[in-house]
Amino acid sequence: MLELEGGEQRRLGNGDYLMLPAHHKHRVVWTSTQPSCIWLCIFFR
């Protein structure tokens, strides 16, 4: 689960993605352990 600036929380599941604007504050609140969670971040211009 991600918490976005302003307190909004988003739960992401298998295959979900979220595009955040540059410099948008966010943090990981929770990840699964079974199955293991793998995050992929892509930065582009």
For the chain, give the mean pLDDT. Answer: 91
Q: Return d(Cα 15, Cα 25) in angstroms, integer.
A: 22
pLDDT of residue 45: 83
CA 17, CA 20: separation in Å to the nearest integer?
Answer: 10
**Pairwise CA distance, residues 29 & 1, whole Å:** 5
Which tens digit of pLDDT belongs to each residue from 2-18? 999 999 999 998 889 99
d(CA 31, CA 33): 7
**Residue spans per domain, the chain:** 1-45
Q: State how far the alpha carbon of 16 is from the alpha carbons of 5, 33, in Å.
A: 20, 17
